[in-house]
Amino acid sequence: MDWIGFCYAAAIALGGFMGYKRKGSVMSLMAGIVFGGLSAYGAYNVSNDPKDIKVSLIASGLLAVIMGMRYKKSGKLLPAGIMSGLSLVMVFRLLLLIMA
């Protein structure tokens, strides 16, 4: 079971919900639902076959790039810096999975 992947997916969904709750950002809510759902589906795939990282890698890689650009533009650690760092760690973790 890919507990790390499921926790990552939950963190994304929770982050989107918090963005909506604090700032009223519907875009944060939608992104949290979409990327959280994709990440959960990817974690499910990895749970069944540890080499099936495609969905998880695309979702976390895309989120790392998007949130990294937001962090560079705003300089704010929350949420952009944290999510870009977390997503980058997830990308490296997934790449290590297929190398093992």
Three-state helix/strand/coil letters over the chain: CCHHHHHHHHHHHHHHHHHHHHHCCHHHHHHHHHHHHHHHHHHHHHHHCCCCCHHHHHHHHHHHHHHHHHHHHHCCHHHHHHHHHHHHHHHHHHHHHHHC
Structure confidence by residue, pLDDT tens digits, 14-36: 999 999 999 999 999 999 999 99
Could you give the number of structural domains in the chain? Answer: 1
Give the pLDDT mean for 30-47: 97
Above 80 in pLDDT, residue 100? no
Give the model's pLDDT for residue 82: 95
Structural domain boundaries, residue 15: 3-99
Answering whether pTM is above 0.75, one says yes
